[in-house]
Amino acid sequence: MTERITATEDLLRELAPQVLGVLVRRYGQFQLCEDATQEALLAASVQWTASGQLPDNPRGWLITVATRKLIDEVRSDQSRRQREMMREFATPQSQLLAGPGDADTKDSDDSLALLFGCCHPDLSAPSQIALTLRAIGGLSTAQIAAAFGVPQTSMAQRISRAKQIVKDTDFTVRADRDRLPAVLHVLYLVFSEGYTASDGDELTAPALSDEAIRLTRWLYRLLPGQPASDRLECAGLLALMLLTDARRSARTRQDGSLVPLADQDRGIWDKDKIAEGTALITGALAHQEIGPYQLQAAIAAVHDEAATMDGTDWPQILALYDLLEIAAPNPFTTLNRAVAVGQVQGPQAGLAVLDALDGDKRVAKHHRLFATRAHLQELAGDTEAAIASYQYAARLSTSATERRYLAMQANRLSSARLNRPL
């Protein structure tokens, strides 16, 4: 029974964006179509699980039920506005009520276009993420709120505002190639939030990172006809996620405390994800066009291939960061590059790289800048400065797990200094 329920839920999550995409393409009313799709999914979950059987055409069944619910909603109120809305429907009502065999042939195009639509340029990045997880990921508002560690009411308001903006800007669903970078960035942000939660008591939010991987894998499958550079960057992003997420189980101890990369048990890294990610990035790098996600995935692959921290090919990592800074200049890229510089050229050289970030408002007050500085200061033997940097980084961090780790590093150095023989 449990396996049947799980299989049904997986199928419904796969079909949800296809059904919503068809409805929005036909009728253009995102809010109404999304509500109708959710009702159809709920009806399917109850009926299919209870009967133990799937209809011959599950997708067509969902489209038909959702369409009928959409029509019922429009008919329920005879106000002028809704009568005008009905007149705007391009498809005759008789066609709307087609049977379950009415399978739309554009499921991939609609699903892909819907994902692009959720990344509408008038939406903020947090709203793009929330709407993507709601409409494409099929997550409930409560699930999204829990994953981000915010109240459900706050997340509901965010999603509601996003839908209103989409409606007010005459939202049309289309797979606009110019919007692909925004789509990839949203998926990257979802994964990053899941891999290292920006707030709360837990270091990770696995539901988010898992969903980002699922959606990116799905997007990659839908891009075979796109320009090679687009598909290669999607492959790079998927590889980056897999190679990074492979270390998830080794990042925390049983008590939830953080384990830095140097101390992780590499024997429990997920070898299947590493193999898949390595194969993806190896294939992508065989082409001449190399983008930022491919470079980041290549760096992750070098880390994952090393049996120990000391055995890491730091010169190769530094060379890749040099290329990444040219391809996509970013203060966090510089931050990571400083660590590689410190490993290859010495901690003082790494600290010199960090000095250039002090005036950058995007990172000047970020805990990672001071945590990285503390690490390099410790390697350079400047214990007093390292303690101060660790303490300041702990005060800036909004993650309880990272805050505890940084405070422990400061205490460790303080204890070592006190116990040092005179």
Q: What is the pLDDT of residue 5?
A: 65
80 and 155 part of one domain: no
| Residue closest to 287 by CA, chosen among 221, 228, 216 | 228
Same domain, 67 and 130: no
Task: Give the CATH number for residue 363.
Answer: 1.25.40
Contact 191, 215 (CB under 8 A): no
Distance of CA 394 to the CA centre of its chain: 25
By CB atoms closer than 10 A (0-12, 13-18, 19+), residue 419 is: exposed
- Least confident stretch, 210-214, 297-301, 313-317: 210-214
pLDDT for 401 equals 92
165-219 pLDDT per residue, tens? 877 655 555 556 677 888 899 899 889 888 887 776 778 888 889 889 988 998 8
Which region holds residue 170: left if phi is over 0, alpha if psi is between -120 and 50, else beta?
left
Can you give the pLDDT at residue 348?
A: 98
Let me know if residue 300 belongs to a domain.
Answer: no
114 and 152 co-located in one domain: yes
- 126: in domain: yes
End of a domain among 221, 256, 285? 221
Are 151 and 210 within one domain? Answer: yes
pLDDT band of residue 109 (cuts 50, 70, 90) is low
**How many CA atoms does the CB half-sphere of 130 hold within 13 Å?**
25
Q: What is the pLDDT, as a whole number, of residue 97?
A: 33
Statement to judge: residues 82 and 126 lie in one domain: no
Q: Based on the structure, what is the number of domains in the chain?
A: 3
Per-residue pLDDT at 281 exceeds 70: yes
pLDDT of residue 335: 96
Contact, 125 vs 181, CB < 8 A?
no
Is 361 contained in some domain?
yes
- Which has more pLDDT, 225 or 376? 376
The predicted model gives 117-138 an average pLDDT of 85
Same-domain status, 88 and 178: no
Tell whether 25 is covered by a domain: yes
Q: What pLDDT score does 90 carry? A: 43
Return the number of other C-beta atoms located less than 10 Å from residue 346's C-beta. 14
User: Does one domain contain both 43 and 117?
Assistant: no
Specify whether the CB–CB gap between 16 and 39 falls below 8 A. no
Same domain (yes/no): 88, 110: no
Q: Are 131 and 214 within one domain?
A: yes
Question: What is the structure's pLDDT at 176?
Answer: 66
Helices (H) and strands (E) in the chain — how many of each?
Answer: 20, 0
| R_g (Cα) of the chain, nearest Å | 25
Mean pLDDT, rounded, for 268-282:
97
Q: What is the pTM of this model?
A: 0.79
Contact 335, 368 (CB under 8 A): yes
Q: Are both 88 and 21 inside the same structural domain?
A: yes
Asked, for residue 306, whether it belongs to a domain, the answer is no
Which residue type is seen at 231? R
Listed in sequence order, the residues at least 6 apart from 27 whose beta carbon sits closer than 8 Å to its beta carbon are 33, 70, 89, 90, 91
Token representation of residue 182:
């925004």
> Is residue 357 domain-shared with residue 379, that is, in the same domain?
yes
From 69, 93, 117, give the residue that closes a domain: 93
Query: pLDDT by residue (tens digit) across 337-346?
Result: 999 999 999 9
Rounded to whole angstroms, the Cα distance separating 169 from 28 reads 12
Asked whether residue 7 carries a pLDDT value surpassing 90, the answer given is no
Give whole-number Cα distances, 205 to 119, 192, 196, in Å: 22, 9, 7
Domain housing 89: 2-93
Q: b or e along 374-405 (b: 16 or more beta carbons within 10 Å of the residue's beta carbon)?
A: bbbbbbbebeebbbbbbbbbbebbebebbbbb
- Which DSSP helix (H) or strand (E) runs through 47? helix 30-51
Residue pointed to by tokens 């290669």 = 232
More confident residue, 39 or 28: 39
Is there a domain that residue 58 lies in?
A: yes
Give a yes or no: residue 166 inside a domain. yes
**221, 255, 288: which is the final residue of a domain?**
221
Is position 145 within any domain? yes
Q: So what's the pLDDT on residue 422?
A: 54
The rounded mean pLDDT for the chain is 85
Tell me the mean pLDDT in the region 6-26.
Answer: 84
Residue 179 CA: distances (Å) to CA of 121, 223, 307: 8, 14, 39
Q: 363 and 403: one domain?
A: yes
pLDDT at 174: 58
pLDDT in tens, 135-178: 887 778 887 887 777 788 999 999 988 888 877 655 555 556 67
Which region among 85-89, 146-150, 203-207, 304-308 has the lowest average model confidence (pLDDT)?
85-89
